[in-house]
Amino acid sequence: MRRWGASRISSATVAWAVVAALVLLQLVCFGLPFSRWVEAGIKGLLVAMLAVGMALIYRANRVVNFAQADLGNVPAGFAVSFLLFWGWPYLVSLGAGLVLAVVLGAVVEMAFIRRFRTSPRLVVTVATIGITQLLVVLGILVPRWWGRNAAGERPAVPFDWKFTPSFRWAFWKPEAGGLILNAHHLIALFAAPAAMLGVAWFLNRSRLGTAIRASAERSDRAAMLGIPVGRLHTVVWAISAALAFLALFLRSGIQGVPYGVASSLPSLLVALGALVIGRMEHLPTVAVTAVVLTMLEAGVRWRYDDAPGLAYAIMAAAVFVALLAQRSGTTRRDTDTTSSWRGAEEIRPLPAALAANEWVRTLRVTLAGLAVLFVVMVPRLFEVDTVIKATAVVAFAVIGMSLVVLTGWSGQISFGQMALSGIGAAVGATVTTRWHVDLTLSLLLGGAAAAVAALVVGLPALRLRGMYLAVTTFALALATEFWVLNGRFFGWFPRPSTQVARLPLFGRLSIASTNRFYWYSLVVLALVYLGLRGIRRSRTGRAVVAVRENERAAQSYSIGAVRARLTAFVISGFVAGVGGVLLVHGSTAFDIKNYGAGDSFTVFISAVIGGLGSLGGAVLGALYLRGTQWFITDQAWQLLSTGFGVLLVLLILPGGLGSLWVTLRDTVVRLLTGRRVNEPDAVVIATVDSVDSVDSVEEAPA
């Protein structure tokens, strides 16, 4: 008990030390005028409410809720519309919106999240992204019910109050005139802390809050004691939605009503960074860190107003350094967090006896031959633009395989996979345009560069369990998009106007044409598939999966958990870099817009939709998400590629399209052989070999 208490005190001390260092960094290096400093602090309080809401849901469901901000977008749209279009009083509109937020949070939990309670947490994460896009559409439609557009509108102040903060100190820069704060700033200054303190009191002092904390610690034991865990989760989602509504409603008076997405990617980085520094659950640290990071962002933007993207890189570096200072948890609860983030179950192979059946073997060879024939004949069957898109699908399938390695095998999450692909693409394009290196060597160099980047990022993050790698890679994605691969700051990579030529392989075999490069990409896809399949069957692959399944048991067999996870991430980075080189040579130009942070979420969704249980799931996911966008012209069917379509697929197939393939395979095998795939081996062997003697069946091994 003493060691556990010391570890907890040490973790809290480290967290507050990191917060103090961030405050010092902002004051010394990125000073603000005092009025702007106060305004940034107020905006930080609003972001803190979003971060606290995310922390509550993480405690209850062990899932990062990407729909947190948009949970408040819809009720905030109603409340502002009541205020602007119907002329309701401020407090009445606020109360009505609060009621709508509580109802919306409960409905989302009961209608969607509860359906995934037995699914892997990765699937629930993607479901929240789908819920986000659904809520975005609803948020846009709300003002249109009044036939108006509320985007950018600011509600009138409820009372007359103005103040210009002024204070002289060396850390605060002088400003002519200063910023005038109004009643909206004053309300937010008091309402946001009051709301968070109210949530803290509710969790610590009320019986319902005690039950919520108990179920968050061990939900299975709480359910055995008769605690209604499902209802408590509904309460948590309702509280989180109320916090999101307050944040969005108060922000509308300061910055105007948001249009579409309620939270930008940088704001998401602030919230996730606060969660990481607060160890995902320590609410006071989460709230204070969100305020400090928001003020740091404002300071960087104020100093480098001509380069706002630099703020993302500096914030990413701050989060990265904060992770270096974190200590790995050793409690059972920390270990349980790891297991809850494991990927989907791997697709089980057919039993050897069934696979040897003549009908099954013939059908497999026939289907494989038809699939290969169709894929190879694509350039002969379709136009050039379709072949170009098909080549891009192949490249995205390679990138998706990198996520199967990281998430499906290792149970880790990356929201920066396209950043690794972008690094590989930049290196591959550079060596091709400047040094005229063979494309095959460019693939290896680009993959190696992405692997090195994965190694650097993974060293601090993979020491910790849970969502830390996800936050680190997301920070990497923003830093790469706005700084590392931004031509304004660096010039070592080719510009978008520079053509990336497809040089002859080994100086002899031309692949410059669209058709030949498509076939070359297929060969690369096949080689990556075979290579990863071999790694999975090797000791390295078995060690990675063993750590995912049971870290302590794996360590008892002298398997280093951190080394295994880091190996998986490095392999994943290499494969992502190879996919990036294919992408840049397919488009014949390098443009960082193709490797943005938002694209990393798209690739992650694609991998989960396809199924993380097999490498083939990455191909299915790329075909589904990109195919419905590029190859289907009917707008009704294109809905399948939207958040609503993704959510619908996950509701029907929580295991992804790969699980559907397994179900169809097992059904066909049962029809051909008359036996189920999951029957005992003794029965299957007896059936396949047509053994008539009952004694021989009894003598077969169990």
Average pLDDT of the segment spanning 491-500:
87
Q: How far is CA 42 from the centre of its chain?
A: 28
Position 696 pLDDT exceeds 70: no
Average pLDDT, the chain: 83
654-680 pLDDT, tens digit each: 878 888 888 888 888 888 887 777 665
Q: Is the pLDDT of residue 317 over 70?
A: yes
| Backbone CA torsion sign across 504, 510, 514, 516 | negative
Arch. (CATH architecture) of 383-627: Orthogonal Bundle (1.10)
Reported confidence tier of residue 195, pLDDT bands at 50, 70, 90: very high
Query: What gap in Å lies between CA 188 and CA 268, rounded to an integer?
Result: 20
Q: In this predicted structure, what is the pLDDT of residue 691?
A: 37
Whether the pLDDT of residue 3 is over 60: the answer is no
> Looking at the predicted structure, is the pLDDT value of residue 332 above 70?
no
Residue predicted with more confidence, 323 or 477: 477
The answer to whether the 2-154+178-340 and 383-627 domains have the same CATH topology is: yes
pLDDT tens-digit readout, 206-234: 888 888 877 766 666 777 777 788 888 89
- Predicted confidence at residue 106, as pLDDT, reads 95
Task: Please report the pLDDT score of residue 247 as a whole number.
Answer: 93
Per-residue pLDDT at 420? 96
Q: How does pLDDT run across 66-92, given as a tens digit for each residue?
A: 889 889 989 998 998 898 888 899 999
Q: Give the angle 76-81-84 at the CA atoms, nearest 5°.
A: 125
pLDDT for position 644: 74
Residue (of 235, 242, 238) closest to 191 by Cα position: 242
Percent of the chain whose pLDDT exceeds 90: 30
Which candidate, 620, 607, 616, 614, places its Cα nearest to that of 536? Answer: 614
Please choose, from the candidates 190, 192, 184, 183, the residue with its C-alpha nearest in 3D space to the C-alpha of residue 247.
192
pLDDT band (50, 70, 90) for residue 555: confident
**pLDDT at 700 exceeding the cut of 60:** no
The span from the CA of 674 to the CA of 361, in Å, is: 15
Domain boundaries of the chain, sorted by first residue: 2-154+178-340, 383-627
The pLDDT assigned to 699 comes to 45
Confidence label for 197 from pLDDT (cuts 50, 70 and 90): very high
Specify whether the CB–CB gap between 609 and 436 falls below 8 A. no
> What are the Cα distances from residue 516, in Å, to 229, 440, 679?
57, 14, 46
Selected residue with higher pLDDT from 264 and 141: 141
3-class DSSP assignment, residue 505: strand
Residue 598: pLDDT over 60: yes
When mean pLDDT is compared over 96-105, 323-332, 506-515, 600-609, the highest value belongs to 96-105
pLDDT score at 104: 95
The sign of the torsion formed by the CA atoms of 596, 597, 601, 607 equals: positive
Examine the pLDDT at 5 and tell me if it is beyond 60: no
Tens-place pLDDT, residues 240-291:
999 999 999 999 888 877 765 555 677 788 888 888 888 777 889 999 999 9
With a pLDDT cut of 70, the percent of the chain lying above it is 86
pLDDT at 600 over 50: yes
DSSP single-letter state for residue 509? B
- Residue 700, exposed/middle/buried by CB under 10 A (0-12, 13-18, 19+)? middle
What is the structure's pLDDT at 79?
92
Instruction: Tell me the pLDDT band of 698, cut-offs 50, 70 and 90.
Output: very low
pLDDT band at 130 (very low <50, low <70, confident <90, very high): confident
List beta partners, residue 559.
none
pLDDT of residue 679: 60
Q: Which residue has the higher pLDDT, 102 or 163?
A: 102
Q: Does domain 2-154+178-340 have CATH number 1.10.3470?
A: yes
Would you say residue 399 has pLDDT above 90? yes
Q: Is the pLDDT of residue 9 over 80?
A: no
First to last CA, the chain: 46
Span of 220-224, 309-313, 520-524 with lowest mean pLDDT: 220-224
> Which of the pair, 610 or 14, is modelled with greater confidence?
610
- Residue, of 487 and 695, whose pLDDT is higher: 487
446 or 171, higher pLDDT: 446
Amino acid at the residue 647:
L
pLDDT value at residue 219: 67
- Residue 304 has what pLDDT? 79
Higher pLDDT, 530 or 325: 530
For the segment 310-326, the average pLDDT, to the nearest whole number, is 76
**Number of Cα atoms under 13 Å in the Cβ half of residue 518:** 20
Residue 376 clears pLDDT 60, i.e. is over it: yes
| Choice among 60-74, 232-246, 320-334 with the minimum mean pLDDT | 320-334
Of 329 and 640, the one with more pLDDT = 640
CA distance 437 to 687: 57
pLDDT of 561 > 60? The answer is: yes
pLDDT at 134: 85
Helix (H, G, I), strand (E, B) or coil at 163: strand
pLDDT of 13 higher than 90:
no
